[in-house]
Amino acid sequence: MIAKTVCKLCLTCLFALPVSNMAAEADFAGRWMVSLQDQKRTLVGLLELERSEDGWTAYLEGGPAQVEIDGNHIVVIADSRDVRGFVFDRKLVGLLENDAMSGTYQQVGSAAQKEAPGPWHAEREVVVAAVDTTPKPVDITGMWTATQELDFRKYTMALTPAGKEWLENYLPYYDQPDVRCTSIGLPAIATYSFPFEIIGSENRLTMIYEYSSKVRRIWLDGRQANKFMPPSRMGHSNGRWEGSTLIIDTTLLDKTVRDFRGELISENARIEERYSLSEDGNTLSAVLTVFDPDNYARPPVRRRRWVRKADTEIFPYTCDPDSFYLTMYEDGEMDMYIERTDQRF
Amino acid sequence: MRQAGYIDRARFAAPLLLAMTFCIFLTRPALSHHSFTAEFTAEKTATLTGTVTQVWFRNPHVRYLFAVTNAEGDEEIWDARGSPVVWLARKGWTKTSIKVGDVVEIYGFLGRDGRKMLSIMTVTLEDGTVFVDRVPE
C-alpha cells in the first residue's frame, strides 16, 4: 500500500514537476539587455536565452555562455578577457521576477582588473522600430574620450568550423599585427579606450584614432569603393542617417585576427556600427556588430561610450617593432617566426 | 633474418609514428607559451628591486631590462614590459622618467614557466616616486 502511494507520488512528481518547471522556465526565453555595475565601470550586453531539447543555451554578445535555470533561478557564467590578456569568468546569479532579472555577480579566476562582487539586472531588449527614418543628422564631430561604459568583452565567441581551425593554428603575440606595428584595424580600433576625433566634411565624416594613428573616412554620399582599391584593415565605409542614428556599413576589409579586442575577419565580412548622441550632445554611444558567416555562427557585438571633454588630446602613436624582433632573436624564436610567415595576415 | 628484421622495423614504425604525432601535438602548446598573453600569469605577482640596464620607451610596448641580485648572490637580468607609450606619457610617465642606472622596485605579474619577465603594475624609484601602469579597458 505504502509502496503504491510512493509510486503514485513519484509518478505525479515525474509528470507534474517538469511541466511546472517548463512553464516557469519558458519565461526566460528571449533577448535580454544585461548590465552590471562594477565600482568604476558599467558593462552592458545582449543575453540571448534559448530553450533546446537538451535544456537551455545562452549567448552573451554573440558568444556562448554557460547557463543553468531552475524555476525562476538563473546562473550565467560568461568568460571575458581583461586588458592584460588574462581570461576569467563572471558568474551572474539571479532571479526572474515580474519579467525582469536581477541578482549578484562575481569574478571567478585571476585577472589584473579586480572586480568586486556587485549587482546585475536584465530587462527584455526593446527594439523600437524607427517611426520616422528621415535622416536627421546630429553633430557628432569633435574629440571623444572613452568612458568606462562598454560591453562585457566576451572572450569565447561562436566560431564556425573554419573559425575554430584558424584559432587552433593561431599563435598569440607572434601572429598579432600590433606587435609588428601593423594596425589590427576594425573592429578593435573602434571600441578601444584610446580617444578619437570625428571631423565633418560635405560628403563624409573622417575619424582619426589615437591608437595606431589610423584614419578612416565614412562616405555619406553612397559611393562605392574604386574597383582597384585593395582591402584594408579600415575597409570602405558608407554611412547613412536613420533619424538621428548614424549607421555605418564597412566592407572591403582585409583579413585580421581575433586578439586584443579584435575579431577574426574574413574578406567577406561586413561590420555595422550604430552611433547615437545623447540629447545634450555630450555622450556618444556605439554598438558594433561583426557579420562574418565564414568565421562566426553568431555575430559578435561590441559596445562603447564616449564623452566630449574640453581637454581631450590625441597623442602621436609612433611604433617601432625593433624590440619585438630583438626579443624574438634573443629567445631564439626567429626561425619559428619565419616559418610561420604564411599564417600571418 | 632479413625478413624478420623488416618485420621488427615495421613493428616499431607504428609506435614511433604515434610518438612523433604526439611530439607534433605537444609542440604547439609549447610554442603558444611564448605568446604575450600567455607569457604572464595572472596568478603570480612579484616585487623585484634592481638596477635599470636598458630602456625601450616605444610602442607597441615599453620595455625595461633591469639587473636583480638573486638569493644566491648572482645577478639576473629581468625583462619588465609596460603598456603603450601614449597611456604612460599621458600620466607624465615619459622616456626620461626611468633611466639606465636607476634603482627601481618593480611590481607586476610574473612570466610563465620561470621566464624572468614582469608585466608592470607599478615602478617605484628610490626617491619614492611611483609610476602606475593601469591602462583603462
Looking at the fold, whether B52 and B100 belong to one and the same domain comes out as yes
pLDDT band at A130 (very low <50, low <70, confident <90, very high): low
Residues of B in contact with A324 (CB under 8 A): 60
Cβ of A112 within 8 Å of Cβ of B38? The answer is: no
Looking at the fold, whether B53 and B104 belong to one and the same domain comes out as yes
Looking at the fold, whether B40 and B62 belong to one and the same domain comes out as yes
Of B32, B89, B109, the CB nearest to A171: B32
Mean pLDDT of the region A209-217? 95
Mean pLDDT of the region A131-150? 94
Higher pLDDT pick, A155 / B18: A155
A23-37 confidence digits (pLDDT tens): 455 589 999 999 998
Q: Does domain A142-330 have CATH number 3.30.530.20?
A: no
Looking at the fold, whether B72 and B18 belong to one and the same domain comes out as no
> CA nearest B39 in A: which residue?
A173
pTM of the model: 0.84
Phi, psi (rounded to 5 degrees) for A213: 50, 45
Number of domains in chain B: 2
Looking at the fold, whether B8 and B58 belong to one and the same domain comes out as no
**Within-domain flag for B84:** yes
pLDDT band at A262 (very low <50, low <70, confident <90, very high): low
**Within-domain flag for B137:** no
* Residue A83 pLDDT > 80: yes
Cβ of B60 within 8 Å of Cβ of A319? The answer is: yes
Average pLDDT, chain B: 79
| pLDDT on residue B38 | 60
Q: N- to C-terminal Cα distance for chain B?
A: 71
Spatial contact of A264 and A257, defined as CB atoms under 8 Å apart: yes
**Residue A135: all three cell numbers together:** 535622416
Phi, psi (rounded to 5 degrees) for A127: -105, 110
Phi, psi (rounded to 5 degrees) for B103: -90, 125
* Residue A324 pLDDT > 50: yes
Looking at the fold, whether B59 and B98 belong to one and the same domain comes out as yes
> CA nearest B91 in A: which residue?
A315
Looking at the fold, whether B85 and B19 belong to one and the same domain comes out as no
| pLDDT on residue A22 | 47
Cβ of B121 within 8 Å of Cβ of A112? The answer is: yes
Structural Rg of chain B based on CA atoms: 23
Mean pLDDT of the region A189-216? 95
Of A172, A193, A320, the CB nearest to B35: A172
* Residue A202 pLDDT > 70: yes
Amino acid symbol at A243: G
Out of A125-134, A152-161, B11-20, B123-132, pick the least confident.
B11-20
Tell the residue number behind the cell numbers 604526439, with chain if given. Answer: B22
Looking at the fold, whether B23 and B78 belong to one and the same domain comes out as no
Cβ of B38 within 8 Å of Cβ of A172? The answer is: yes
* Type and span of the H or E element at A273: strand A270-277
Q: What is the C-alpha separation between B84 and B22, in angstroms, rounded?
A: 39
> CA nearest A184 in B: which residue?
B60
**Residue A303: all three cell numbers together:** 559596445
A97-120 confidence digits (pLDDT tens): 999 999 999 999 988 888 889 999
**Exposed, middle or buried by CB within 10 Å (0-12, 13-18, 19+), for B68?**
middle
Q: Would strands B40-56 and B103-111 be described as parallel, antiparallel, or unpaired?
A: antiparallel
Cβ of A178 within 8 Å of Cβ of B60? The answer is: yes
Higher pLDDT pick, A175 / A13: A175
DSSP string, B68-90: EE-TTS-EEEEEEE---HHHHHH
| pLDDT on residue A24 | 52
| pLDDT on residue B27 | 36
Of A148, A176, A178, the CB nearest to B137: A148
Looking at the fold, whether B72 and B123 belong to one and the same domain comes out as yes
Which residues, in sequence order, are CB contacts of B131 under 8 Å at separation 6+? Answer: B88, B91, B93, B97, B98, B122, B123, B124, B125
Cβ of A85 within 8 Å of Cβ of B36? The answer is: yes
Higher pLDDT pick, A245 / A177: A245
Q: What is the C-alpha separation between B121 and B88, in angstroms, rounded?
A: 12
Average pLDDT, chain A: 89
* Residue B63 pLDDT > 80: yes
* Residue B45 pLDDT > 80: yes
Cβ of B109 within 8 Å of Cβ of A84? The answer is: yes
**Within-domain flag for B86:** yes
Domain ranges, residue B121: 36-132
- CATH code 2.40.128.120 region(s) in chain A: 20-124
Looking at the fold, whether B20 and B47 belong to one and the same domain comes out as no
Spatial contact of A32 and A124, defined as CB atoms under 8 Å apart: yes
| pLDDT on residue A317 | 93
Spatial contact of A191 and A302, defined as CB atoms under 8 Å apart: yes
pLDDT band at A258 (very low <50, low <70, confident <90, very high): confident
Out of A42-51, A87-96, A231-240, B21-30, pick the least confident.
B21-30
Q: Quick one: which of A67, A90, A93, A63 has its CA closest to A78?
A: A90
**Residue A217: all three cell numbers together:** 573616412
* Residue B14 pLDDT > 70: no
Chain A interface includes B33 (CB < 8 A): no
Tell the residue number behind the cell numbers 625593433, with chain if given. Answer: A322
Out of A166-175, A281-290, B29-38, pick the least confident.
B29-38
Residues of B in contact with A172 (CB under 8 A): 32, 35-38
* Type and span of the H or E element at A16: helix A2-25
ipTM: 0.82
**Residue A1: all three cell numbers together:** 500500500
CATH of the domain at B45: 2.40.50.140
Cβ of B137 within 8 Å of Cβ of A82? The answer is: yes
Q: What percent of chain A has pLDDT over 70?
A: 91
* Residue A75 pLDDT > 90: yes
A35-72 confidence digits (pLDDT tens): 998 878 899 999 999 998 889 999 999 999 999 999 99
Out of A5-9, A55-59, A282-286, pick the least confident.
A5-9
Testing the interface with B: which of A174, A323, A339 to mutate, by most B Cβ within 10 A? A323
Q: Quick one: which of A202, A262, A199 has its CA closest to A234?
A: A262
Measure Cα distances from A278 to A57, A137, A139, A285, A305 in Å.
Answer: 34, 13, 11, 8, 10
Architecture of domain A20-124: Beta Barrel (2.40)
Mean pLDDT of the region A239-263? 88
Catalogue the long-range contacts made by A137-140 (C-beta closer than 8 Å, 24 or more residues apart): A137/A241, A137/A244, A137/A246, A138/A244, A138/A277, A138/A281, A139/A200, A139/A277, A139/A281, A140/A198, A140/A205, A140/A246, A140/A275, A140/A277, A140/A284
DSSP string, B101-125: T-EEEEEEEEEGGG-SEEEEEEEEE
Spatial contact of A297 and A159, defined as CB atoms under 8 Å apart: yes
Looking at the fold, whether B53 and B75 belong to one and the same domain comes out as yes
Cβ of A176 within 8 Å of Cβ of B135? The answer is: no
